[in-house]
Structure 1
Amino acid sequence: MNNTPCLAAFGCAAALSLSAHSANAEPAANWSALDDIVAANEYGMISSIVVSRDGEILHENYFDDEPDALRNTRSVTKTITGALIGLAIQEGHIGTVGEPVLDHILHTPANPDPRKDAMTIEALLTMSGPLECDDSNPASRGREDRMYIIEDWVGFFLDLPVRGFPAWVPKPEDSPYGRSFSYCTAGTVALGAVIESATGEPMEDFARRTLFDPLGIGAVEWQFSPLGLAMGGGGLGLTSRDYEKVGRLYANGGSFEGRQILTPDWVAQSISPKADVTGQDGVEYGYLWWLRDYSANGQSYRAAQMSGFGGNKVIIVPDLGLVTVITKIDFGQRGAHQQAEEVFEKHVLPLALADSE
């Protein structure tokens, strides 16, 4: 996505462009030095940092002095919705990601089209659905901010027309992985309706039973649509430590403290590239995970990211067992994502590598 300002309170497109703060920034010599840099607001308004490796906390600091705060990290929520789809498949409520969305939602959509009928769960997990929905385009009918002024958010999405492809936009058949990426919060909201319909449980209850309780996550704060659907596209409040637990689950192949919560295959599929992010060199997309490389000490490391408006990040490097949570409150500020990514690449990653030596 780009850095288009977003007025929405819940999700918003997450810009994942490469680091642009200061290409020559010297890495902090130790964790205390990093804290001083962050406290001086050199990377915007960072509220917390939590770093773990192989389940051990390497460093954490709360720059707002609120370690127990439930942090609204906006679109970071989307990745948790992806986990819930995986858990619904594990329990047999959904067969495969290839099932049509409309098989699970009772709705007769406007603008009927066979391609809409065939739209799969996987298409929404990969932000490559057929409907005209693009949060980064102010002209898009499916833009997130337009959804919030409608009572029925799921209906809003399903009623959208099929998208067109002008000459300057790559068609799916001409795109890597056969998918044309278009970031769409409303589609992730619809996945919440799929979860509720398939499982017969409110999404928040299903999440509690299958994900939060097994991870030892206590207090959570959901946002809800006007019709009472838990907002799977953004706005979920968890503590920074609890976001670390979600990241650790994926960094460890779906296992958490000896318990297999997600299947290794679901985790592997989720953080494998499924679509190329248009306009962002080197950035790909999995099942509601952003994928890119980071460099430190002359080596490149593949990372997967949960990302939300304002520069909020949960970054995992599975090969290192590394999880980093960076929460920010720079909502609407240009460069917020780049700042968080540079904190990770220029400071956190080298320090974490040094700690393992």
Structure 2
Amino acid sequence: MKLLANIFLSGLAILACVSCSKDEDPVLPLEGAKLSVAVKASGTATKAYNPNDVNELEGEAYINNLAVVVFNETGTELLGYKWEALSGAEHSAIIADVPTTNAVRARIIVLANVPRDLLSTVSTYDEFQTRLVDLSSQSQTNLTMSSQVIVTKSALSEEDNYLGYEDLGDQNVDGISDPILLTRVAARIDLVNISTRFAGTPFAGREVRIDAVGIYNMKTKSYYFSEADWGETEAPDAVRNSEDTSFEDLLVNDGASISNTPFVHYVMENMKSDDHTMITVKATLRGNSSYQDHTKIFTAVINASGLQNDYDHNFIRRNYVYRLRIYFDGESFDNIPVTPDPGPDPEPEVDTNLNIAVQVVGWGPVMQHPVID
């Protein structure tokens, strides 16, 4: 399988390092419990991103704020929540003293980079499940992340509780000692390479100008979290086209490909919609003394054959990077002869025959250990 098998090992690990001081604990009802989350980004001594993850751009693992929400086991009652802004959380961060009203079996969700008021109007788990995050809020330094839903089999203790704390092993709630994964809700599309294959065709020696690149049928909304680890967050509808990114003097020929990733775009998960997410490229075959310029708009569905190519999904799934390589060949354009009295330039043709190769790679995940005191 082409997707890296050790993706969970190459991610940004966020490990619990401290718990809050007992002297600073607020006075809670006897039946109450308190949730504290301490995080530390390991292996990032001087960088805010994971240097071992070649697919991660700087800033994509920033944790600008953390939020924790705790419901009772059935989700019918909100037991407590807390949102906390973090400053310079490149390597470590703590969110402490999340108040809960009862030491009972709990349903816990951890989120990063979400609005301050997200949880203030939530009263039940079912209600929280319907909340949507908008693509316009996502950027390279502010990507929303969320854990799977953690439903404890045991009631939270009125004493210290731990969850996902490796050093404590079976002392964790339900013995869950593996790090809890924070997964981005967005995906990223990279146009990494553009080339021509004109040798031996009527276009030999010609070059192509890339005029604009955009995304068609991109999902603009997503649910904040999924019940499963790295589960689906796709929201219905909310499909639109992006604005095109225009280029000047971006030229490619057989002797000079474009390999500096000129286009990067975030999108939301889109696996079930009939309107599949596509890349669109407006390109012009440059004319010469014998032939006119010929402009066409090319489109292609992104990752339409993922399963066939040994990836684990088709189309767009959250927390993946789609690395696109496109090329133009002897079938891509037409040779239009220069005439003595040429007419006005025609509208660009729309052509779905874009030669595209898709590589699906996973972002290194973000992990953390929550500590319940």
Q: Give the alignment's TM-score, normalised by structure 1.
A: 0.24
More helix by share: 1
Larger Rg: 2
Q: Which is richer in strand?
A: 2
Q: With CA pairs under 8 Å and 6+ residues apart, which has the higher RCO, 1 or 2? A: 1
